[in-house]
Amino acid sequence: MSVINAFSTPNPARRFRLGAWLNSTVVENAVLPVLGIAAFLLIWSIVASQINTSLGAFPGPVEVSQQASALVSEHRREREKEAAFYQRQEERNAKRLEKEPDFKPKIRAYTGKPTYFDQILTSILTVLTGFVLASAIAIPAGIVIGLSRNMHSAVNPLVQLFKPVSPLAWLPLVTMVVSAVYVTDDPMFEKSFINSVVTVMLCSLWPTLINTSVGVANIDPDLQNVSRVLRLGRLTHVRRVVLPSSLPMIFTGLRLSLGVAWMVLIAAEMLAQNPGLGKFVWDEFQNGSSQSLARIMVAVITIGLIGFVLDRLMLFLLRRVAWDPEIAKR
């Protein structure tokens, strides 16, 4: 057989091996995602080079990676300044204690500009606080609504009314109410932090509330009959029957709520100028330097990555507590 015929003749064994390779787990989970990311970066580079804005050319992957490195360097320099500040303070206090043994030294907090990573930590802390508070309200309320048709009929119009309200509408009200109610000479939390937490809580509790009530309302009738036959008390019925049966729906609502909370937080921080990633984006936009767009792109990618990690975290928790093997495979 000639060389040409060897390549032109269909080879079932070779096609089978190629198909098996393409369908393998390694290709599906590693090779194809890498190819997809590489194609995205290539298209991004080509399109970015064709766009000119009032702040200069739209940043490509190279410019964004350079600004990401610059933000890391700025964070390190700020931490070095902070360490030097506290060291000078300790040295001053030590010298004064030598001269005045009764002197009571005071440690003043470092008041330097928050770095990019400080903003990230602030946003994560804020969103988790708002999400936990929303879950603490939504899960018990969803169970009560799911167990009672009358309660569902009474509350459902309010849920449908407030569920689609944007954080942009809540934020002015929350800001005014917090300013009027949270009045103290020694505040434990900054008002900006409370504003963001309350806004996140108000906007993110609805998916968990709705999914929990639906999960509870659709519990297998056989399980409810068993509970009646065993004459389980209300709390025991909730703990032994309701919660295990509706757990998948509750976690589905929690995943949706966490995603909503993260998106709401960024918008709230931008509008209210509260500390966090949203404020970083807005400050860079107002700054208007040639590096601003690249820094905003760094923030956009960071926001996406954190949102992905938060979602994976909820999925991990669901797999840990799921009793259904099909759910655990998701």
What is the average per-residue pLDDT within 291-310? 92
Q: Which of 52-56, 113-117, 130-134, 193-197 has the lowest mean pLDDT?
A: 52-56
Confidence of residue 184 (pLDDT cuts 50, 70, 90): confident
Q: What is the pLDDT of residue 23?
A: 64
Q: What is the pLDDT of residue 7?
A: 46
Confidence of residue 81 (pLDDT cuts 50, 70, 90): very high
Q: What is the pLDDT of residue 221?
A: 83
Q: What is the pLDDT of residue 12?
A: 62
Confidence of residue 274 (pLDDT cuts 50, 70, 90): confident
**Greater pLDDT, 323 or 68:** 68
pLDDT above 50 (res 217): yes
Number of other CB atoms surrounding residue 330 within 10 Å: 11
**Greater pLDDT, 12 or 283:** 283
Residue 255 half-sphere exposure, CB side, CA atoms within 13 Å? 17
CA atoms of 249 and 229, how far apart (whole Å)? 26
Confidence of residue 117 (pLDDT cuts 50, 70, 90): very high
pLDDT above 50 (res 156): yes
Q: Is the dihedral of CA 303, 307, 308, 312 positive or negative?
A: positive
% residues pLDDT > 70 (the chain): 90
Q: Which pTM does this prediction carry?
A: 0.81
Q: What amino acid occupies position 48?
A: A
CA atoms of 325 and 69, how far apart (whole Å)? 43
Q: What is the pLDDT of residue 93?
A: 86
C-alpha distances in Å from residue 2, one per residue of 7, 110, 260, 296: 9, 79, 63, 59
Q: What is the pLDDT of residue 22?
A: 61
CA atoms of 276 and 265, how far apart (whole Å)? 9
Confidence of residue 213 (pLDDT cuts 50, 70, 90): very high
